[in-house]
């Protein structure tokens, strides 16, 4: 089930994120049932920070997005700040992580873990 809001926004996964999430779920017990939960919390050096967790629970008001058979779930409040974003997986010499290309962010920290909005 793919959710798209009234502005036509959704959350997508890059090819790198699809590959990494598929590998993670293959190692998890019950991985086929799990989704990547993305949420926004206050904090970080720019005001808001991203949170990534594996989850097999869908709350009644959650929005679920599917890419390549993988589910991404978020709550409506987080989606207000995430709508239209792409989740990528980056591997660099200093480490590897999921990162968000968020069109709603007006500023962010250098590591990509937190952001600010206008």
All domains of the chain in start order, with CATH: 12-112 (2.60.300.12)
What is the mean predicted confidence (pLDDT) over 56-80?
Answer: 90
Q: What's this model's pTM, rounded to 2 decimal places?
A: 0.82
**Tokens coding 1:** 């089930």
Interval 7-64: pLDDT, tens:
678 888 999 999 999 999 999 877 778 899 999 988 767 678 889 999 998 899 999 8
Structure tokens at 31: 């991985």
Q: How far is CA 108 from CA 9, 10, 17, 39, 50, in A?
A: 21, 21, 20, 16, 11
Confidence tier at 1 by pLDDT (50, 70, 90): very low
The closest of 58, 50, 107 to 79, measured between CA atoms, is: 50
């Amino acid at each position: 089930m793919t959710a798209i809001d009234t502005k036509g926004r959704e959350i997508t996964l890059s090819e790198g994120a699809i590959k990494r999430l598929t590998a993670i779920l293959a190692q998890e017990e019950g991985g086929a049932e799990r989704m990547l939960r993305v949420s926004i919390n206050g904090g970080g050096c720019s005001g808001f920070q991203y949170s990534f967790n594996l989850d097999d629970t869908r709350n009644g008001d959650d929005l679920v997005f599917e890419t390549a058979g993988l589910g991404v779930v978020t709550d409506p409040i987080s989606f207000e700040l995430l709508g239209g974003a792409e989740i990528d997986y980056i591997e660099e010499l200093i480490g590897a992580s999921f990162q968000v290309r968020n069109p709603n962010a007006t500023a962010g920290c250098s590591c990509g873990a937190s952001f600010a909005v206008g």
